[in-house]
Structure 1
Amino acid sequence: MVIGNYFVYLLLLAVSGCLCQHKNQIRIGVFFNADQKNITYWDAIKELLPETVELVTSPNEIEIVPENDAFSTQKQFCNFIQKTKNERLMAVIGPKSLTASTMIESICEHLAVPYISTSPKPPSVKETPYSISLYPEFRMLSKALAKIVESFDWTSFIILYEDEEGLLKLQDVMKLTHKNKEAKNEHKFFKLIIGGDNRQALKMVRNSNINWIILDCHVDRIASYFEEARNVDLLSDLSRSFFLTSLDAHTMDYTQFIKELNITTIRLFNPAHPVFNRVASRYFDSPKISLNNITVEQALVLDAMLLIGETVNQLKAQNKYLSPRRISCHSNSRYQDSLSIIQEMQEVQLNEVLTGSKLSFASGSRDEFTLQVIELNSKDSPIAIWNSEDPDNIELTRNETEREAEFKRRIAEHNFIVSSRILEPYLMEDPNPDAYKNAKYYGYCMDLMTEISKIANLSFEFRITKDNSPANVVNDLVERRADLGIMDFTITPQRREVIDFSLSFMKLGIGILHQKPIPEESNNKYAFMRPISWTVWFYIWTLSLINSITMFFVARMAPAEWENPKPWDPESKELENIWTVKNFLWLCLGSITAQGCDILPKSVPARVIGGSWWFFALIIISSYTANLAAFLTYEKQDVVIDSVEELAAQSKIKYGLMSKGSTEQFFSSSNDSLYGRLWNNMKNEKPSVFETDNPSGVERVKVTKKGLYAFFMESTGIEYELGKSCNLRKIGGLLDSKSYGIGMPLNAPYRNMINHAILTLQESGKLQQIKNKWWKEMVRGEPCPEDPKQSASLALSNVGGIFDVLGIGIGIAYAIAVIEFLWNVRQLSIEEHLSYMETLKCEIKFACNIFQKKKRAKPVPSESSSSKSSLSDQHEKISIARSIFSKSASLLNLSTHDEHRPDASQVRQRSRSKVSNNHLRVS
């Protein structure tokens, strides 16, 4: 019995030795779906296998299984198992479809055959002990995508997806909230129809205010979705940014879209990395395969082959014999693998693979992988790197300067579409039919955009909006048909909700445009009285009377105004004053009419009053003459308005504004009672007082007769119209304060660039130069002559100063008259040897007797009536004798100055003696 056993042992050794002289044969099962390409690399695994191991699988033995037919897949896989007789089934590489993959994986678990998956698996699919997944683990990939999107600093985004599996992959992305709590977080989702028409959904994306779009789809359908997006003008906006979640997106050619879009994606490996180049160049020697176009699936299949080859090497190194084993799908019990190949695979660590620097599967799924974030216009250098070993952080590889340089490059390659409208002087159309594009337009907006383009280094093209409407310019920006909007674009809160604005390039406010009053010849026969108000006329004539009375009293007090009525009789006892109130009235009238008078005052006080009156008359005459021509015409308008309050207080002059503009928004939303009343009046007015645009409103102001229409518009437009037309005027001041800005879509990335250009133009004074060019230098027609200011009736406030001058002159005259009067009283009291008070009383009494035109040369204060008559008789006799003597001497040609004739002093002495004798007699 022992010998028999020994013989059997020797026989087994002999058989074993014979078998050892033959190579171990292994087989690899490869199951693909119909759309998967022939991406197995048998040469790679053959190179790694030891000489004693032979791979018997050929490319012709790749099994194509249906995607969604589990029964057919199970039958086809079991038929493959029946073929495996003398080879060892090392592993099975499964298809990408979830249904087929799940079926094959469950059978491999039953047969204890390692199952290698190179496609993503959703978290709902449970991993089996005999499965290894080379594709990044689903939950880690979702976390990586969320971290990458968070690094973009997107406040809101739109997700375009094909199936629910894509939403599961983006579940962590959907949970993102922006760090800035004031920012509005808005996420929208649109499902794409595979092979269908998605233009309606893409139009909704275009009309939204969200610029950031996440596209999750198969790489083969990215181009078709972009083409549909282009058809609905979704790609024409420079501010749009796309993030592609496909790991193969970098292998596509985006030449036709790259100039229009900012496309960011991720990749599992860097084709430019030295390790990748070394491994890929060793096994990808086919001229049909470019290293830059290697897909993740191709790379993972090669990595799977390398994994199988390295596992076989380790088994051989451990002297483990790869004997074939009989397996069948129809066995009731689960097979056992004595070599534990799946355990050996999980312990393998590869340092040189295509999909990373290291490949290990300690937990059955891939432990470590790296995602690189790249922009498709610069694939060579990633902008960020995420590593599964530190999943909560992301490394940004590009600094601010590099990001700014990249953005400027995109700006330089982009042609900015500028939406505007035709309106003088902002933008006008060249009538030359040969002009095209920007050469077709000129004006303020064209000059402004030209200066901005020089500073920002960008190109642009003007396009006139539909119906030339400001509202359509806003729609162009909202719907992303234009990058910028430049016109008389008022920055309002309502517009800021749907579009962004640059810094203001012009300050303004709402004003009132109205027609100037049209003068006509006056039919009023009393129009000559209008240059001076009736109040002033009353004061003039009243003051003339007062001045005449004042001069009359001053003349009576002034000694110089009392003259000898008989100049031939120096001894005359009486003095005469020619000034009466009537004469002074004549003098005042002559002065006012600039005709003069035949008699003039001689005393200093009377002349002071006269001079003051002449100055008064000079001013009155000059003012009257200057205003007379203007007041020979009158304003045809019945109602004259000079402010918005006066406009609101009347009902004859109608007023309106441009509909659907910022001015309408101002009145409709104003809480001011005055503006609210104006708005209600405009709304209820029949016929309508609203106009479709400002030029129509200006024209209505011009053609409305008698100036019965006023138009609310912005002050810049009023300023321009006043420069063109001399028949218009601006009423009052500005109703508000606002600014013009350049419009752009919400969250436009080039907003700071436009703001910088505007600040530069403002600091250099270029903005004011451009405005002066189109508001002053380029205004059509001759400059308007300066309007003579409408002469108003001279009121007391206009001529009150000359009344003061006249009053001062009268006061000075009175003072001089009083001083002269008192001095004369003193002289008389000394000469006549009378008391000062007695002489003063006598002179005052006589001055107050306004009906007495003559007075005695000397006062007689205390004489009786008899002595008065006696003295009078004596004076009269002396006067008669002197007259007779004078006439006789004249007839005889005798000199009156001979020595026999008494001189004046002698006569005065004699007269005094006689008066003294008379006083003595009376005594």
Structure 2
Amino acid sequence: MKLTVINALVVFCWCSLRIFALPDDIFIGGLFNSHDEEQALAFQYAVESVNADKLLLPRSRLHGRIVNLTSDDSYHAAKRVCSLLLDGVAAIFGPQTDNTANHVQSICDAMEVPHIETRWNVNEVRNSYSINLHPYPPSLSRAYRDILEKLQWTHFVILYENNESLVRVQSLMKNASWNFVLRKLDESGDYRPMLKEIRLSPINNIVIDVSRDKIYEVFRQGALVGLMTDYYLYFVTNLDLYLINLEPFSESGANITGIQLVDPQDGDVQRLVEEFKRGELRYGHSLPMDYMISTDAALIYDSVELFASALTALEYSHQVDISKLYCEGDKTWQHGTSLINYMKMVPLKGISGLLKFNDDGFRADFELDILEMDKGLLKKVGRWTQRGGANFTRSWAETVQVKEKNLRNKTLIVCIALTKPYTMEKQSTEMLTGNDKYEGFCIDLVKKIAELEGFKVKFMVTPDGMYGNIDNKTGEWNGIVKQLLDQKADLGIVDFTITYQREEAVDFTMPFMNLGISIIYKKPQKKSPSLFSFMSPFSVDVWIYMATAYLGVSVLLFILARIAPNEWDNPHPCIQDPDELENSISLSNAFWFTIGSLMQQGSDIAPKAVSTRVVAGIWWFFTLIMISSYTANLAAFLTVERMDSPIESADDLAKQTKIKYGCKMGGSTYSFFQESNIPTYKKMWQAMSTASPSVFTESNDKGVERVQKSGGMYAFLMESVSIEYEVERKCDLMQIGGLLDSKSYGIALPPGSPHTSIISGAILKLKESGELHKLKERWWKGKTPCQSEASATKSSGAAELGLANVGGVFVVLIGGMAIAGLMAICEFMWNARELATDESASFCDELSSEVRFILKCSGNTKPVRKKTPSTPEEPLFTYGSYGANYGYSQRKQ
């Protein structure tokens, strides 16, 4: 009885465990084409891995049935799928081709059997019983766009293989701010004609969207036509770029960027690869020693793991049975819906990243590694995520270090044009070859940069001798710019002005020299001294004002002396009671006193009254300033050499027609005047462009030569630093005026050159260390025959002193005279008041009497007014104040 109860309990427990259980054997089908051997192998390993994992399907065993499809025949594929369903499979994996996959999907939807895909599928509508582990195409296309935006690509070529490629890169074509060109690969396999067209175009950025087996061939044929150089940047959309052997292109300098979903350096991936290698003989496959799993194989492996995880989760909620299904019948699998929903809901970390799906069964949320080629190997430099977009982990400093590393020990071709003192051929009795043939400021500059950054240079002279100008009719460039655009040179250096047009065509480093347009003209002859050159320190206006001041002060001094009582003295000191008083400041004496002060000689006349002394003091101050200014400016006029130059600036040139002027044909100065909207420069351009004979020259040297031979009838417009060089060596020339504009010289490089930032950094270092200044001093002033004369020529001489310079002195003079006049009037009024009091007369009568005496302006004597004593004993004395025309007062007897 006890045994029976125990047996019953065991049976009950066993039955309870089997209520929510899976069958012991679960079958899945895998459809693979004949060229999908690696995916079939991954499918088999995934099944074995699930069976070996005790956490996945712990009470069941997974069996994989592989069906090899020999052709892209949808009818044949349908029959094989129906055969698998008849055997009772729980899911169908694959195939990879579109036609058969779509047919298989329709059958699985009808039978409600999960259909698991790992292929790229442009169809944005997912059926209910289908799930795809391949990254969602719109999200993948967005990743392309984000990465190119981070790389700052705006112009590029898209190389594509078929229409499916166009769908993949459609987001790149929808960006209105980008300019792109589409180029399809030739089906014959010869891509060189098309790649040559790209080589001749100005675009250096190339997007490659082709199948994995054609990537290497595109690079190989690109190298044959010159597309694998430092100046070309590639972005490969294929997720299997890490499987391509890029070692042959490691020294090309080409910048190759790609993406990957599977990281071959990840520990889980490497362990899986090792398992593949250990079990290869068991399945009849032979894997190479450097084998790396492809993205498609990794997705197949993850799809089986995902299916097993979902099935395990389903086991704990459902009693799952797997029955045979007939394609011709109407019976469906009841657990198909639940299983596919579990696959969408259960996140799983696979070797291709996190397996996460949206409600439509698309894998929209995934992450990609951004790769760049470095010495033939791909290295991770960033990461793309659905939310964060593209982010490069390598810092700017690390990027520069990589570029500097790639530049070291390379030989760069430097294109030059012969122009003094920038690039010249050495004058030597020996036969010179190679870089030894050339010397100059730019030659030394490039050599110092090369020494600083560790690369080598080879100089070449541009065939046409031109710097670089565009033909407006053909749109073709010439000179150094053409050599750079054709990538026949890596650098271009001379007195190369950075202009907008050139900047649009090629890249420029930061400027190594700043300058502007100026005028070179023949030094005028020495000016013959004028007979009245001693008058030059003051302008005519100042001389006139000084003469007027002299006359005014002299007359005012005379009038104030007659008004001031203290200026009337006893002419005979021995006579105590004189009959007349005398004034020593007559009109002639006033003129003599002021002229004596002006000439710093003085006189015997000495003012006594406060008013006259104020006038004298102010006049002395005035003469002190004026004579000091005159003396100082006269010394400058006598010691500074005066030149008689007919022009002093560009405005002077524009206002006259006698002296012709021009510039170098087709140069930056030529373009400046041609495109200028400033009225003065437009007028100058009109005069230059219509002049006959032509005022333009083929080179700056010929323009300078023309100035020397013109006898002062021709001026040449060129860069100021070139003018400095010429006037240091040609003593009969000089620079006129200031700078007409502001510009800079830079080193030109092909567009998109990776060396631009490195060369700019080297120039900055040379500036900070003072090497650039030393180079200029060496080539501009190191070998000059007339440096001292040129320095003297630069001095413009002392300028005339205008009224604005000495006007304050006149203000002080006028103010002093006004004060003196006011004081004289006060003295006069006070004296009249005292006389009126003493004589018991009215103030007005006394005032009018004194005024009449002053206005007579004749005679220098004045009778003494005597006071009558009040008592007989009071003595007679001289009155302290003086009247006019009163006669003598007598004491009454």
TM-score scaled to structure 2, two decimals? 0.60
Answer whether contact 2:32 2:39 (CA < 8 A) is retained. no
1:119-518 pair list within 5 angstroms: 119-124=119-124, 126-152=125-151, 159-172=158-171, 185-195=177-187, 213-227=206-220, 229-230=222-223, 233-238=226-231, 240-259=232-251, 260-285=253-278, 286=280, 288-289=287-288, 293-307=292-306, 325=324, 327-328=326-327, 331=328, 333-338=329-334, 340=336, 343=339, 346-347=342-343, 353-356=350-353, 364-366=361-363, 369-377=366-374, 382-388=380-386, 391-392=387-388, 396-412=392-408, 416-429=412-425, 438-471=435-468, 472-477=479-484, 482-513=489-520
Distance 1:254 1:380 in 2: 8
Distance 2:447 2:791 in 1: 41
Answer whether contact 1:87 1:323 (CA < 8 A) is retained. no
Give the Å deviation of 1:231: 5.5
Tell me whether 1:93 sits opposite 2:85 in the alignment: no
If you compute each CA radius of gyration, which structure gives the higher value, 1 or 2?
A: 1
Answer whether contact 1:504 1:742 (CA < 8 A) is retained. yes
Distance 1:38 1:194 in 2: 29
CA 1:215 to 1:434, structure 2 compared with 1: closer, same or farther past 3 Å?
Answer: farther
Answer whether contact 2:50 2:62 (CA < 8 A) is retained. no
Partner of residue 772, structure 2: 767
CA 1:490 to 1:122, structure 2 compared with 1: closer, same or farther past 3 Å?
Answer: same
Give the Å deviation of 1:153: 5.3
Q: 1:293 is paired with a residue of what secondary structure?
A: coil
Q: 2:77 is paired with a residue of what secondary structure?
A: helix
CA 1:717 to 1:292, structure 2 compared with 1: closer, same or farther past 3 Å?
Answer: farther
Answer whether contact 2:400 2:758 (CA < 8 A) is retained. no
Q: 2:238 is paired with a residue of what secondary structure?
A: coil
Give the Å deviation of 1:662: 0.8
Q: 2:418 is paired with a residue of what secondary structure?
A: coil
1:524-539 pair list within 5 angstroms: none
Distance 2:687 2:748 in 1: 32
Distance 1:83 1:473 in 2: 72
Tell me whether 1:757 sits opposite 2:752 in the alignment: no
After superposition, the CA RMSD in angstroms is 4.9
Answer whether contact 1:214 1:245 (CA < 8 A) is retained. yes
Distance 2:287 2:433 in 1: 47
Give the Å deviation of 1:296: 0.7
Partner of residue 45, structure 1: 47
CA 1:694 to 1:162, structure 2 compared with 1: closer, same or farther past 3 Å?
Answer: farther
Q: 2:380 is paired with a residue of what secondary structure?
A: coil
Partner of residue 556, structure 1: none
Q: 2:235 is paired with a residue of what secondary structure?
A: strand
Task: Tell which deviates more after alignment, 37-46 or 294-303.
Answer: 37-46
TM-score scaled to structure 1, two decimals? 0.59
Distance 1:47 1:234 in 2: 45
Answer whether contact 1:654 1:709 (CA < 8 A) is retained. yes
Structure 1, gaps ≥5 residues long:
1-21, 67-72, 178-184, 520-529, 538-625, 791-796, 798-923
Answer whether contact 1:484 1:744 (CA < 8 A) is retained. yes
CA 1:271 to 1:35, structure 2 compared with 1: closer, same or farther past 3 Å?
Answer: closer
Deviation string for 1:66-125 (max 9, x for gaps)?
3xxxxxx2222144357659844454433433233222322333344443322111144x
Distance 1:346 1:154 in 2: 42
Answer whether contact 2:658 2:713 (CA < 8 A) is retained. yes
Answer whether contact 2:311 2:339 (CA < 8 A) is retained. no
Structure 2, gaps ≥5 residues long:
1-22, 53-58, 281-285, 469-478, 535-637, 794-799, 801-893
Q: 1:62 is paired with a residue of what secondary structure?
A: strand
Distance 2:729 2:233 in 1: 47
Tell me whether 1:688 sits opposite 2:686 in the alignment: no
Answer whether contact 2:506 2:748 (CA < 8 A) is retained. yes
Tell me whether 1:664 sits opposite 2:670 in the alignment: yes
Distance 1:450 1:115 in 2: 67
CA 1:395 to 1:498, structure 2 compared with 1: closer, same or farther past 3 Å?
Answer: closer
**Amino acid of the structure 1 residue aligned with 2:699:** D
Distance 1:487 1:359 in 2: 59
Partner of residue 103, structure 2: 103
CA 1:274 to 1:435, structure 2 compared with 1: closer, same or farther past 3 Å?
Answer: farther
Deviation string for 1:525-555 (max 9, x for gaps)?
xxxxx97768899xxxxxxxxxxxxxxxxxx
Q: Percent identity?
A: 30
Deviation string for 1:296-319 (max 9, x for gaps)?
112223334445666788899999
Distance 1:716 1:76 in 2: 82
Deviation string for 1:334-375 (max 9, x for gaps)?
441255398269449585643125577985444753212222
Deviation string for 1:429-451 (max 9, x for gaps)?
46899866645533211211233
Distance 1:108 1:437 in 2: 75
Distance 1:395 1:644 in 2: 54
Answer whether contact 2:32 2:40 (CA < 8 A) is retained. no
Partner of residue 676, structure 1: 682
**Amino acid of the structure 2 residue aligned with 1:689:** V
**Amino acid of the structure 2 residue aligned with 1:766:** E
Q: 2:128 is paired with a residue of what secondary structure?
A: coil
Q: 2:481 is paired with a residue of what secondary structure?
A: helix
CA 1:37 to 1:433, structure 2 compared with 1: closer, same or farther past 3 Å?
Answer: farther
Answer whether contact 2:33 2:70 (CA < 8 A) is retained. yes
Distance 1:231 1:512 in 2: 51
CA 1:643 to 1:439, structure 2 compared with 1: closer, same or farther past 3 Å?
Answer: same
Task: Tell me the number of residue pairs that the alignment of Structure 1 and Structure 2 aligns.
Answer: 643
Q: 2:353 is paired with a residue of what secondary structure?
A: coil
Answer whether contact 1:137 1:366 (CA < 8 A) is retained. yes
Q: 2:695 is paired with a residue of what secondary structure?
A: coil
**Amino acid of the structure 1 residue aligned with 2:47:** I
Answer whether contact 2:255 2:372 (CA < 8 A) is retained. yes
**Amino acid of the structure 2 residue aligned with 1:138:** P
Answer whether contact 1:144 1:386 (CA < 8 A) is retained. yes
Q: 2:443 is paired with a residue of what secondary structure?
A: helix
Answer whether contact 2:520 2:717 (CA < 8 A) is retained. yes
Answer whether contact 2:663 2:670 (CA < 8 A) is retained. yes
Q: 2:256 is paired with a residue of what secondary structure?
A: strand
Q: 1:277 is paired with a residue of what secondary structure?
A: helix
